[in-house]
Structure 1
Amino acid sequence: MISTWRRRAGLGESNKLKQQQQPPDMELAIPTHFLCPISLQLMKDPVILSSGITYDRDSIDEWLQNGNYTCPVTSQILRSFDQVPNQAIRKMIQDWCVDNRQYGVERIPTPKVPVTPFEVSEILSRITASTLQGDQNQCLQMLHTIDKLSAEGERNRQCILANGTAGVLAASFDAFASSSVEENTTLLEHILSTINWMFPLGVEAHIYLGSPASLLCMVCFLNSGDLLRTQNAILALKELLSIDQQYSEALVQIEGVIQLLIKLIKQPICSTVTKSVLSVIFYMLSSSSASNDKVQSTLVEMGLASLLLEILVDSERSICEGALGVFDRLCDCEEGREKAFNNALTMPVLVKKVLRVSELATEFSVSAIWKLCRYEKREERSALVEALQVGAFQKLLLVLQDVLSALIPFMICQKSRS
């Protein structure tokens, strides 16, 4: 049981004399009723359960979230999960901290009362009403309130998420984007920024963010040159395209979007944007829509294959994975393979990345090598020869060895069961 407080060495200039007068290893006894029965630590936010026992809020929250329905001390089934702040104990703990500050005890700050579902619903109702009225100032005010509440702790964020906030904000984004992107830029940017910490989003939020007006607004943000707008927009697009291929089809229909994505790779703003752009392109190429072939051709014509190889020469792990994934998808089309064949970096880079970055990167690298060798004309076989020359055979043997090492225990287990 932790029931003492060891005096800290660094107490500040004003306490040096007291520090010299007292033993360096002095420990201060903490009153037992100041300790949480679960964590046995000094309570920072004491709350009373329906059983009448006081706990620290974080500790009892974790207890309840783990599926427990009883009071940890009395084992009584809880009639309700309401947690009432124990103001008396909190005040006593704070006074005790102040009285013993010479021992290095810091005063426990007064905790903020967590937001309730009712309060969140009230905020969302105001956002919905101000959206219908076109009142962006009121919407901004409510967004600031949400940001403030979410910054106060994980409990508040979970409450905000659980009450459908993402869907309401996405609906507001769609409405103001449909009205005028230029006139509502500040509000739209703020909504997108707030939504981005709520991923993954629900179906309702996806529908509103995937509307033509919302997609066009996000593309405008990508082209704004502003780092924050670009980052928030590309993260939202990545979230959308990872869920449903229909959003990929709708995004491709926006004029100039492919050229804009290539520009963001050629002129990188930050690693987060680059990684997200590669993910968006990967989802676009993975789509089974009718426009997929056109997207592939456009990307190849704009020199994406060569650009990816240059990125792969020296980049961080997550960017490597994204670049290899896109390169592998480009090798699905004849134009992409031709560009890859004609680039001297292709085989050396692909073989080098096998077993050097991650399992996913290895998967993409091996897949691309296989496609280049498989679809090459029989009379040429230059890609196959080059792959062997740069060590592909040895690398592939190592990959096969790793696969077999993982499969053998499984096969033995299955055989023993049968």
Structure 2
Amino acid sequence: MGSTAAGEETEPSQTAAGVELLSRTVAEISGLPEFRGPMRSSCCDLARRVRLLSPLFDELRDAVGDGSIDGVDVGALGSLLDALVSAKELLRSVSEGSKLYQALQWEEFANKFQEVAEHIEKALSDVAYDKLDMSEEVKEQIELVHSQFQRAKGRTDTPDTQLLADLSLVRNIKHSELAVLKRLSEKLQLRTINDLKKESIALHDMVIFSNGDPDERLEEMSFLLKKLKDCVVTENPNSDVPENKMRFEKLKFPVIPDDFRCPISLELMRDPVIVSTGQTYERSCIQKWLDAGHKTCPKTQQNLSHMALTPNFVLRSLIAQWCEANGVELPKKQGRCRDKRSGSSSDCDRAGVKLLLQKLENGNRDEQRAAAGELRLLAKRNADNRVCIAEAGAIPLLVKLLSSPDPRTQEHAVTALLNLSINESNKGSIVDAGAIPLMVEVLKIGSMEARENTAATLFSLSVVDENKVTIGKAGAIPPLIDLLCQGSPRGKKDAATALFNLSIYQGNKVKAVKAGIVTHLMRLLVDHSAGMVDEALAILAIISSHSEGRTAISESSPIPALVEVMRTGSPRNRENAAAVLWSLCTTDVRQLKLIKESGVEEALKDLSENGTDRAKRKAGSLLELIQQLTEA
């Protein structure tokens, strides 16, 4: 009987998780900032079509909450989620990325939008939404969106020929006409000093993501950016903050910080590496020193315990950032600076990661702390690094460091695992390495930063359904509730997100209720200064679908607070408040009498006319129940 019960919970749990993640992904796409630059039209079209799918997920979520879900293929939902996540990542990368790069690589980006459109269209074809119990209005809207994606598959947007012509002029003519630069500035929407600073940061990120081995186009973009900077400063000297112009003028010949100079050559370092004494040198310089037979550190004269050179990724990132901020040409790579055995930049980075892992495994406390910090930053940078670090065997070593007595090492380890967990295949490796019980201990006794990032990691891991069970059984829910109550504002948000996702699994709802979560959620619901009303209502709505959850909520005198949200809350909060009230009143006539006495009918009528689709249904059902009570 036990196995049957577990089996009965698996598919609804998977469906609920899938629907919630789909809704959240659409909300994240809707929350992206205004799209600008050469790909603006493609971004707006894709985002608009995705937003039109929202009613489908609202109705599916409603059906899951009502227990009436039928006809939903979990695998099809997963494929649609993959497609929408790809859309979100593309939109975010374009929104945050270099406008110059998008213009120069217009065809490449156009192909990416085509691929995403095809991915979504295929996923929608696999979802049998015509068989679902949905309103005709929603069905028509989804069919319309589907047909829009079908048409988008075979249609290629026309490039801006004027923009491409202007780029060609600026690149090929030494002294570009001001009129052309001004037109480029408008087309690329790089009109102000702040716009140009964001573009500089985007180019800097490209340097970091290329692991210090940028392609030749980066130099071209740097050249174009300098021309646009000159144009903007000349035409709009008072744009944004006045001191920006002064900063450009003052930093025309910037002084290189001492920490960025090689102690041997005294020149700006291109490829900084660390020797065993902890000192940093330019790779080619220190390599010549070692090749000459020296076994000491040039700066400290200490004996070197080994001859390995560890890439200083953090310093290299800072140097690149400083170069961009000060208009200095980015340091160019030098082949002789690389390990002669390395065939590519990827091989070189893998060698660097292996050296970091050696320090994790065999280094002293300071070396372990530094290596864990380096891996934390590397794993944050890009997807390739996350794969490389995991394949090198870092995950078991980082999991072991979760038990480190050094708080900073522990923080670095858990945050590195958080960053690695972004990669789906790494989630299983982290769990298999025994991370969850150790993370629960960090959640109980770690520093605030470690606890916050542990909560975020547990949320990331709990996206996999079977991990929800494992995390709940390991005892994570009570310390997450403690963090929800006592943490920093960020910690409370991380804890709430993890608790929400874990509570999709029925067994965890009971654990959360027994740990006293309802009392804390009700306190957060009425304490507007805490900024946790949205999270409290979302968790209450999901817990109210369980009988023990409804009982606990009923015993906390929830009606006044929920009715107040119904009257004055945001559309989403009014929806969740109505969902909680509906769950309470369908099983407990006493709660129904209480909401009737509270005078909520006017708010319900307003919600049934002006709320979200799900809120309209819940409000309508509650009005019917109140009417039946009146007539009885």
TM-score band by shorter chain is 0.5 to 0.7
* Deviation for aligned residue 1:244: 1.2
Query: SS where residue 545 of structure 2 aligns?
Result: coil
* Deviation for aligned residue 1:375: 0.6
**Paired letter, 1:249:** V
Query: Which position in structure 1 is the counterpart of 2:539?
Result: 326
Q: Does residue 603 of structure 2 align to residue 395 of structure 1?
A: yes
Alignment CA distance shift 1:170-1:337 (3 Å): farther
In the alignment, is the contact (CA less than 8 A) between 1:317 and 1:358 conserved in 2?
A: no
* Deviation for aligned residue 1:262: 2.8
Query: Which position in structure 1 is the counterpart of 2:51?
Result: none
Query: SS where residue 532 of structure 2 aligns?
Result: helix
CA–CA distance in 1 between the matches of 2:544 and 2:405? Answer: 43
* Deviation for aligned residue 1:207: 1.5
Query: Which position in structure 2 is the counterpart of 1:123?
Result: 352
Alignment CA distance shift 1:286-1:404 (3 Å): closer
* Deviation for aligned residue 1:129: 5.2
Query: Which position in structure 1 is the counterpart of 2:45?
Result: none
Structure with greater proportional helix content: 2
Deviations 1:360-411 (A, max 9, x none): 32232111100110011xxxx221122123343222222221258999xxxx
Query: SS where residue 375 of structure 1 aligns?
Result: coil
TM-score by length of 1: 0.62
CA–CA distance in 1 between the matches of 2:412 and 2:585? Answer: 49
Query: Which position in structure 2 is the counterpart of 1:244?
Result: 464
Identify which range, 388-397 or 221-230, moves more after superposition. 388-397
Q: Pairwise mapping of residues 139-150 of structure 1 onto structure 2 (< 5 A)? A: 140-145=369-374
Query: Which position in structure 1 is the counterpart of 2:548?
Result: 335
Query: Which position in structure 1 is the counterpart of 2:489?
Result: 271
CA–CA distance in 2 between the matches of 1:143 and 1:105? Answer: 38
* Residue among 530, 544, 565 paired with 1:353: 565
In the alignment, is the contact (CA less than 8 A) between 1:337 and 1:372 conserved in 2?
A: yes
Query: SS where residue 581 of structure 2 aligns?
Result: helix
Alignment CA distance shift 1:297-1:145 (3 Å): closer
**Paired letter, 2:566:** V
* Deviation for aligned residue 1:236: 1.0
Alignment CA distance shift 1:368-1:167 (3 Å): farther
CA–CA distance in 1 between the matches of 2:455 and 2:368? Answer: 23
Query: Which position in structure 2 is the counterpart of 1:220?
Result: 441
**Paired letter, 2:604:** L
Q: Does residue 376 of structure 2 align to residue 281 of structure 1?
A: no
What is the aligned length?
A: 322
* Deviation for aligned residue 1:59: 5.0
Query: Which position in structure 2 is the counterpart of 1:54?
Result: none
**Paired letter, 1:190:** H
**Paired letter, 2:480:** L
Deviations 1:286-339 (A, max 9, x none): 115xxx1xx433433343222211110013686222211222233223333223
Query: Which position in structure 1 is the counterpart of 2:481?
Result: 262
In the alignment, is the contact (CA less than 8 A) between 1:176 and 1:184 conserved in 2?
A: no
In the alignment, is the contact (CA less than 8 A) between 2:443 and 2:455 conserved in 1?
A: yes
* Residue among 353, 359, 362 paired with 2:574: 362
**Paired letter, 2:487:** I
**Paired letter, 1:262:** I
Alignment CA distance shift 1:134-1:106 (3 Å): closer
Query: Which position in structure 2 is the counterpart of 1:33?
Result: none
Deviations 1:168-195 (A, max 9, x none): 2995243343477236764442133345
CA–CA distance in 2 between the matches of 1:169 and 1:188? Answer: 21
**Paired letter, 1:250:** T
Deviations 1:31-84 (A, max 9, x none): xxxxxxx9xxxxxxxxxxxxxxxxxx95533434654598930699xxx96336
Alignment CA distance shift 1:164-1:338 (3 Å): closer
**Paired letter, 1:352:** E
Query: Which position in structure 1 is the counterpart of 2:454?
Result: 233
CA–CA distance in 2 between the matches of 1:128 and 1:247? Answer: 27
Alignment CA distance shift 1:332-1:212 (3 Å): farther
In the alignment, is the contact (CA less than 8 A) between 1:170 and 1:209 conserved in 2?
A: no
Gaps of 5+ in 2: 1-37, 39-96, 110-163, 172-213, 231-244, 253-325, 334-344, 616-632
Alignment CA distance shift 1:403-1:264 (3 Å): closer
Alignment CA distance shift 1:68-1:305 (3 Å): closer
Q: Does residue 526 of structure 2 align to residue 313 of structure 1?
A: yes
CA–CA distance in 1 between the matches of 2:541 and 2:587? Answer: 13
CA–CA distance in 2 between the matches of 1:406 and 1:375? Answer: 20
In the alignment, is the contact (CA less than 8 A) between 1:222 and 1:234 conserved in 2?
A: yes
* Deviation for aligned residue 1:249: 0.7
Alignment CA distance shift 1:359-1:65 (3 Å): farther
CA–CA distance in 2 between the matches of 1:101 and 1:309? Answer: 53
Alignment CA distance shift 1:403-1:194 (3 Å): same
**Paired letter, 2:472:** V
CA–CA distance in 2 between the matches of 1:253 and 1:146? Answer: 29
Q: Pairwise mapping of residues 10-89 of structure 1 onto structure 2 (< 5 A)? A: 58=98, 60-64=100-104, 66-67=106-107, 72-73=167-168, 82-83=216-217, 85=219
Gaps of 5+ in 1: 1-37, 39-56, 151-156, 408-418
